[in-house]
A and B are shown apart, each in its own frame.
Chain A
Amino acid sequence: MKQTEKIGILGVGNLLLGDEGFGVHVILRLQQEYRFPPSVELLDGGTAGIMLAPFMEDKDILFVLDVVNLDAKPGSIHQFSNDDVCSGNIQTRMSPHQVGLLEILDLCRLRGQAPARVEMITVVPEDLSTKIGLSPRLADAVDGVIAVLLGKLEKISVFPEPLAARIE
């Protein structure tokens, strides 16, 4: 790997809708517990849609942390790469909120500025009702997702440094 490769770790989701905020919760944990080398940028992307395009466009490798719409056990972890997934179409969407990550990646690609590699580490949510905080199963999945992410980073020789004590 070239030293100059830029790596993005993007957590998305809505913190007010229970497990929907999973990706953001993971980013907050990563920020509290690890120091990352300068080539790695973390972003709590919240629920921003198209606003995430600039962050994506200047990365060579992008890791996305999110919940996923799959018929599988809540809390189970599922991985995808950009070749596995396909997007819906933008035009019939009623609102800019419905422009999802995959459509944004398509736009970046159209502009010739998409990351070379996109890896999505996702979990199946259990509870998307209006509240703050993860359901117990999803809270348990945070460590698993972090482990998967660190494993992937290790393969490209990125070693985040664990911080000694977590500030509670």
Chain B
Amino acid sequence: MAQRIVVDPITRIEGHLRIDAEVENGAITKAWSSGQMWRGIEVILQGRDPRDAWVFTQRICGVCTTVHALASVRTVENALGMEIPMNAQYVRNLVMSIHALHDHIVHFYVLSALDWVDVVSALKADVKKTVALAETLSNWPNNSYNRFKAVQEKVKAIVDSGQLGPFANGYWGHPAMTLPPEANLMAVSHYLEALDYQRKADKALAIISGKNPHIQNFSVGGVTAAINPDNEATLNMERLYWVKQLVEEVRGFVQQVYLPDVIAIGALYKDWLAYGAGVTNYLAVPDMPLNTKGTAFDLPGGTIVGGDLKTVKPFTSFNDPYFKDNVVESIARSWYKGNWSKHPFEEETVPNYTDFQDDGKYSWIKAPRFQDMPMQVGPLAQVMVGYAQGHVLTKKYVDDALSQVSSLAGAKVGAGVLHSTPGRHLARAIRAAMLADLALEHWAKLVDNIGTGDLEIFNKPAFPKGEQMGFGFHEAPRGALSHWIVIKDGKIKNYQCVVPSTWNAGPRDGKGAPGPYEASLVGNPMENSELPLEVLRTVHSFDPCIACAVHMLDPYGRELTRVKAL
């Protein structure tokens, strides 16, 4: 008989993401993904000045602040039919890519690595063999005997003291943890190092954006980061070179540590390459625009249907009707009144909480659909769409990573293995490697453009009487983010955010088609229902972003996740 398990983080404000799964014969047969709180933050925006929307939207979320700022200014510009100066595009592209680098590093090491890495096992590692293993992966200077030895001693001290700190209550010794001790030691060392590089990315972002978190340098029509090579108070060459140096250091970590680590984990957990594909319709939006209009991009976007790369169809501009006309949100299985699927411009949501109904309504999250299909978004979608279009940088990194996975795993693997739980991590690391290269390229483009004497950063927006509609998208760290606005007489009439995790964590739709989280869990193995490590692996691989950021202190660490095996 099927056993039901529920993974449900308890918090004072209604909980966040709840996953229910049915397990039979050691594998998941059915899953439900449920957002356990309703925010309606968009309501706050109604009646406000559209030029201020980005300041509010970036407070929606504590991890993805800049992404809502970027999507929002693009949305208002789209409604007004505006272009922005070239410098403004490059500055925004730098902000976007550096933020994503930061985000990807943190997601992997702080949130996900411990799903695969057994910290306690690192104590058993032979330090010399760890160095040898690391040398097969990269030339990172910190992969040294002394460093690994010191890390091992630190872990020993922590374990001996019984004060495991952030490692407490991990799934240590779980039968699904199968990395050799040396790989665990190497990964723990990199885990501790990752924070140094997030700090560098953080600093680079603050130099360009004035403040971090919650950047200050955007504006509808451009950016407010004044550029003047002869002025100490503006974005000048000294600051730009400081940014460049920091990004180069971050690139080193991403390309010599993060990507090789994920390649190694993919190869050493090769059984897992068969799990977690789920929905293989992919959607990514193009980003890093190369002109003032947003009709050419350095990061490709488009759609793929049914995992078939030949079906790829690109999005080609910030105004592409192929995107604009095909997005709807379904509330058939969500706690809102009615049973409709509507375009974001037309949505009017009235909450209607029932209870958790397996065959009825069970989530506050809506189910976005593209041409009525569920779509997976995120770095994997972007890498797939780029690979299918022959995007040069994507092809280079994917082919290189797959050949390394093949040689480490001792079996040839193709791009098909990317449709999996480890594949999502690999795609994210590949995207990070690409973004590191592209950040530096766009840095150079910005400097070249300033060198031509162009110091423009802003076109003034003008709001005509009457009604305008617009949409804006951004390929955020968690995937395609879009904002949708209706402006009336210069004020916001309606505002909707269709966020990446809505695409991925959304529930079933009117036709009963499950969302990507739900579909990806089906078929996952489950060793022990009381310790659902396998569920965490697959859900974490999407980089969930549901909570929308609440920060209340709990002095007794009560904000724990409840696992119920029924």
Contact = CB atoms under 8 A, between A and B. Distances in A.
Interface of A: 12-17, 20, 23, 44-54, 57, 64, 66-70, 78, 80, 84-103, 106-107, 109-111, 120, 122, 125, 128, 130-132
B552 A96 contact: no
B65 interface: yes
A130 B44 contact: yes
6 contacts: A47-B549, A68-B552, A69-B554, A96-B107, A100-B551, A128-B13
Contacts of A96: 63, 106-107, 110-111, 543, 545
Contacts of B481: none
Nearest to A89: B169
B132 interface: no
Contact of A66 (B11, B12, B107, B553): B553
Contact of A50 (B165, B198, B539): B198
Interface string B4-26: 00010101110011010000000
Interface string B523-566: 00000000000001001100111111111111111111101000
Residue in A67, A92, A128 whose Cβ sees the most chain B Cβ within 10 Å? A92
Contacts of B168: 89
Given A66-B553, A69-B12, A47 B195 contact: no
Given A53-B199, A68-B552, A85-B555, A130 B41 contact: yes
A131 B41 CA distance: 8
Contact of A90 (B114, B199, B544): B114
A68 B555 contact: yes
Interface string B151-175: 0001000100000011111110000
B462 to A, nearest CB: 27
Interface stretch (B53-61, B75-83, B254-262): B53-61
B44 A131 contact: yes
Chain B interface size, under 10 / 10 to 19 / 20 to 34 / 35 or more:
35 or more
B51 interface: no
Contacts of A90: 110-111, 114, 166
A47 B61 contact: yes
Q: Pick from B62, B102, B114 the residue with the most CB of A within 10 Å.
A: B62
Contacts of B154: 110
B478 to A, nearest CB: 10
Given A107-B165, A110-B158, 7 more contacts: A51-B202, A66-B552, A91-B115, A95-B16, A95-B545, A95-B547, A128-B550
Contacts of A125: 552
A64 B561 CA distance: 25
A20 B158 contact: no
B553 A93 contact: no
Contact of A14 (B110, B167, B203, B551): B551
A99 B560 CA distance: 11
B551 A101 contact: yes
Nearest to A65: B553
Contacts of A44: 211, 214
B292 interface: no
A97 B62 contact: yes
A54 B203 CA distance: 9
A120 B536 contact: no
A143 B39 CA distance: 29
A80 B559 contact: no
Contacts of B536: 91-92, 94
Contacts of B559: 69, 88, 98, 100
A47 B551 contact: yes
A130 to B, nearest CB: 6
B46 interface: no
